[in-house]
Chains A and B, each alone.
Chain A
């Protein structure tokens, strides 16, 4: 198995809290990894560190065997879909413009049409991004993330505030990307059922990593599932 990501002893200390504490795990090529954990578990911190947005960490993060502190080249192989892409609502860009922003090789015009078709947003190509529904916008951002044919797709809780029908379509797209195009997917989610259905590996994070392995193992272990549910329930109560 080719290791695409290796995280060793990753610790992130914020002034008032330890966001990640000695987290280590490996992601192999072709994995569909669901990262679960309550709010504030450190999922976004983990992603920020992996993507080079947070550089204040201890430990090492390697992509394709290379330390990301040494070179940013690995970013070329990554497509990233943020939780909720923030932009001005009346920003004058069309769907086509947004996907084109992501396109590294600007001469590769056909690729834009191809990816828009693949994600069923071809007919929206000339619409302004701010006029679309949450589900449509999300598919646009996935298209942008995929336009350079990345080897890894990273998605940060990508279904927040999106209608059920769009979520179903989104999940089927993810499944196809992983099974047919062999893209490694790293996906953080609140939805345990969805992780159970889609992911073949699970990482359970609550500042420390308290489980990482095949999803069957996680979901067949009642104790682990209960532990996770209690942790997120506590967090939920805490927030209200």
Chain B
């Protein structure tokens, strides 16, 4: 691999944005996975597809409409679950298909699939602008600071809602905060892996890390490391071989998971 690619400024932007998104997705995703909300990212991403199509139709920058739609959808999923007692997986399924359906209808009105739509479906990390990079870094920073400040409350209400309530933690507010942050994280990450593969970034590094880590912080750090490794290596490999970064990144993280499973079943991974 030639080191020349590291001198291109688009590559700098791609790597910086990619690392930020990798860290953000693994941290937010860890809470979602532990809440048995693994497909939540998928549902939000699919519904944000409707938002992207809407943005393209009316001529607003599609990510802005996607942020709006995904945050509303995230809150709707939570409300459906609480108010109507629809199970988490069913409400996710409802929203997932509504988003795609709305998106498809809007795309029909606006004259069919274009290159823009494809870049949102499959990601376009090598095309991120300076503005995109600044936005990604700022949102990552804000969300990570919020999580650090409310770390105990978020962890406790993820671990056991009832006990957290008895300890005086405003569990319902924390739940809404988490889905709100997940909504923002999903749209922020669309540029890296696209709508279709988002949940891989949320779920796979965390499932892998849970097999290694003992404590929570250790698990989070391992997950972030795996995630950053997959993203950076994926971007570089895909550029060299001229293949899609999204697919490469996800396959690399699946490789890490598979490797971990092999190590574990060979008895080499002990938790004590």
Chain A residues in the interface with B (C-beta under 8 A)? 51-53, 72, 75-76, 78, 80, 82, 85-88, 90-94, 96-98, 100-104, 106, 126-128, 131
Contacts and interface: CB of A to CB of B under 8 A. Distances in A.
A208 B190 CA distance: 58
Interface centre among B36, B152, B166 (most CB of A within 10 A): B166
Contact of B215 (A76, A85, A103, A126): A126
B267 interface: no
B214 A51 contact: no
Contacts of B218: 92
B38 to A, nearest CB: 12
Given A72-B168, A75-B166, A131-B271, A90 B159 contact: no
A51 B171 CA distance: 14
Given A72-B168, A78-B166, A88-B34, A101 B215 contact: no
A53 B162 contact: yes
A101 B162 contact: no
B160 A92 contact: no
Given A82-B162, A87-B159, A88-B34, A97 B168 contact: no
Nearest to A50: B166
A90 B210 contact: yes
A52 B219 CA distance: 33
A93 B215 contact: yes
Interface string B211-254: 00111101100000000000000000000000000000000000
Contacts of B152: 100-101, 103, 106
Contacts of B168: 72, 75-76
Of all A-B residue pairs in the complex, the 7 with the closest CB atoms, nearest first, are A92-B219, A94-B215, A101-B156, A75-B168, A80-B166, A51-B166, A92-B213
B160 A94 contact: no
Given A100-B152, A127-B272, A92 B214 contact: yes
B79 interface: no
Nearest to A154: B166
A94 B215 CA distance: 5
Which applies to chain A's interface (DSSP): helix, strand, loop or mixed? loop
Nearest to A130: B271
B216 A52 contact: no
Given A80-B166, A101-B155, A102-B167, A92 B216 contact: yes
A72 B159 CA distance: 21
Interface in B151-174: 152, 155-156, 159-160, 162-168
A101 B158 CA distance: 11
A131 B271 CA distance: 9
A97 B215 contact: yes
B210 A87 contact: no
B166 A53 contact: yes
Contact of A93 (B36, B162, B209, B216): B216
A101 B166 CA distance: 12
A96 B155 CA distance: 13
A85 B160 contact: yes
A93 B163 contact: no
A6 to B, nearest CB: 20
B218 to A, nearest CB: 8
Contacts of B159: 87, 91, 93, 98, 101
Nearest to A85: B160
B172 to A, nearest CB: 13
Contacts of B163: 80, 82, 85
Contacts of A97: 155, 215-216
B209 to A, nearest CB: 8
B152 to A, nearest CB: 6
Contacts of B160: 85-87
A92 B211 CA distance: 9
Contacts of A51: 165-166
Nearest to A125: B215
A200 to B, nearest CB: 25
Contact of A127 (B156, B209, B214): B214
A22 to B, nearest CB: 25
Contacts of A103: 152
Given A97-B155, A131-B272, 12 more contacts: A82-B163, A85-B163, A92-B209, A92-B213, A92-B219, A93-B216, A94-B214, A97-B216, A101-B155, A102-B156, A104-B167, A106-B152
